[in-house]
Amino acid sequence: MNAPAPDILCIGSVLWDIIGHAGGDMAMGDDVPGRIVRAPGGVALNIAMALAGFGLKPALLSAVGQDHQGAELLRRIASAGVGVDMLYRAPNLPTDRYMAIEASGTLIAAIADAETLEASGAEILAALGDGRLASAAKPWRGLVALDGNLTPSLLAELANGPILARADLRIAPASPGKIARLRPFLGLGHATFYLNLAEARALAGSPHQGAPEAAAALAKTAPGRFLVTNGAGMAAFAAGDVLISARPPIVPVARVTGAGDVLMAAHVAAEFSGADPEAALAQALDAAAAHIAKGSEE
């Protein structure tokens, strides 16, 4: 008997997060006391684990090394209710890692080592073509969360090819520096973008003052949907002539890494359950605020 299909496919980075938290301010060259936490991470994985927490059944399409760190990561992911059967186990490559430093609730610097994801290329998408999830004759028609950590060539192939042409695409850039990789998706009406203000400005090519202005500008020039956040400032959702804005709850900041991923997962889960645009945006902002206030756990 075949296992039930997942509610959503999460495609992109799956790795170990190594995050250093300093209690006070930091400047270049500082050496300060704090805490260093290692936890499952990567944009696609963060989204998948949050979705599982909201009651959905996500499955990952990504690459993990055949090393002991990869095996440990898979055990942790599976125990969180995320499907790992379709993950590509890359031979002779290490499991990817992300290292960041946060101080006073602000990201100071980060380095993402995604060598294995990038080297694996289209191998991570095999299940979308070989019949396990979908095929050329029967493409995937459900939800897909896609992050910008894939190579530009692979992202362009996904945007322009048939593999995800029928999917409900939810797109996370991963960082402002990777926004250019996602331009091929701008012309797709079945794509929803989740952006912070810096990413929205880069995608729109204009220095909009706030999230509502940036979201509205993107929706006027592209057929997709856009949810734009601005930290503690006003957030907005725009699609065509529709513009909804809301201010996130004010909470103490214990961490920032992964907040955007939780927001995206909460919005997807809310819409999956039938919430209207106003309620979906409110639930997304509430979930991100709760994540920011909670702090990190090993």
User: CA 267, CA 165: separation in Å to the nearest integer?
Assistant: 22
Query: Is residue 3 in some structural domain?
Result: no
User: CA 194, CA 263: separation in Å to the nearest integer?
Assistant: 9
User: CA 223, CA 82: separation in Å to the nearest integer?
Assistant: 31
User: CA 208, CA 256: separation in Å to the nearest integer?
Assistant: 23
User: CA 280, CA 267: separation in Å to the nearest integer?
Assistant: 5
**Spatial strand order in the sheet of 168-172:** 58-61, 8-11, 143-147, 168-172, 191-196, 225-229, 235-239, 242-246
Q: What is the pLDDT of residue 256?
A: 80
Axis-axis angle for helices 211-221, 197-204 (nearest 10): 30
User: Which range, of 30-44, 48-62, 213-227, averages the lowest pLDDT?
Assistant: 30-44
- Give me the mean pLDDT over the 107-123 stretch: 93
Q: Is the predicted pLDDT of residue 254 greater than 90, yes or no? A: no
Place of tokens 């992202």: 155
Q: How confident is the prediction for the chain on average, in pLDDT? A: 93
Q: What is the pLDDT of residue 60?
A: 98
- Select from 273, 282, 289, 261 the least CA-distant residue to 15: 261
User: CA 95, CA 104: separation in Å to the nearest integer?
Assistant: 30
| 228 vs 204, residue with greater confidence | 228
- Give me the mean pLDDT over the 145-151 stretch: 96
The SS3 call for residue 8 is strand
Reported pTM: 0.92
**Total domain count for the chain?**
1
Q: What is the pLDDT of residue 147?
A: 96
The CATH number for 244's domain is 3.40.1190.20
- Give me the mean pLDDT over the 103-121 stretch: 90
Q: What is the pLDDT of residue 1?
A: 44
Q: Is the predicted pLDDT of residue 119 greater than 50, yes or no? A: yes
User: CA 12, CA 186: separation in Å to the nearest integer?
Assistant: 19
Query: Is residue 61 in some structural domain?
Result: yes
Q: Is the predicted pLDDT of residue 297 greater than 70, yes or no? A: no
- CB-CB contact of 230 with 224 (8 Å): no
Q: What is the pLDDT of residue 94?
A: 96
| CB within 8 Å of 297: residues ≥ 6 apart | 37, 39
User: CA 109, CA 287: separation in Å to the nearest integer?
Assistant: 24
Q: Is the predicted pLDDT of residue 237 greater than 90, yes or no? A: yes
Query: Is residue 142 in some structural domain?
Result: yes
- CB-CB contact of 225 with 189 (8 Å): no
The SS3 call for residue 35 is strand
Over pLDDT 90: what percentage of the chain?
A: 81
| H or E segment and range at residue 115 | helix 115-120
User: CA 64, CA 116: separation in Å to the nearest integer?
Assistant: 7
> Count of CB atoms within 10 A of residue 229's CB?
26
Q: What is the pLDDT of residue 152?
A: 95
Tokens matching residue 207: 């220095």
Q: Is the predicted pLDDT of residue 292 greater than 70, yes or no? A: yes
Q: What is the pLDDT of residue 260?
A: 94
- Give me the mean pLDDT over the 125-144 stretch: 95
Q: What is the pLDDT of residue 247?
A: 96
Query: Is residue 1 in some structural domain?
Result: no
- Domain boundaries, position 46: 12-294
- Give me the mean pLDDT over the 166-192 stretch: 94
Query: Is residue 6 in some structural domain?
Result: no
**pLDDT band at residue 16, thresholds of 50, 70 and 90?**
very high
Q: What is the pLDDT of residue 257?
A: 80
| CB within 8 Å of 158: residues ≥ 6 apart | 125, 146, 150, 164
For residue 272, give the DSSP letter.
H
Query: Is residue 181 in some structural domain?
Result: yes
Q: Which residues pair with 21 in a beta bridge?
A: 35, 102
- Give me the mean pLDDT over the 120-138 stretch: 95
Query: Is residue 7 in some structural domain?
Result: no
Query: For the segment 42-94, what is each residue's pLDDT rounded down to a tens digit?
Result: 999 999 999 999 999 999 999 999 999 999 999 999 999 999 999 999 999 99
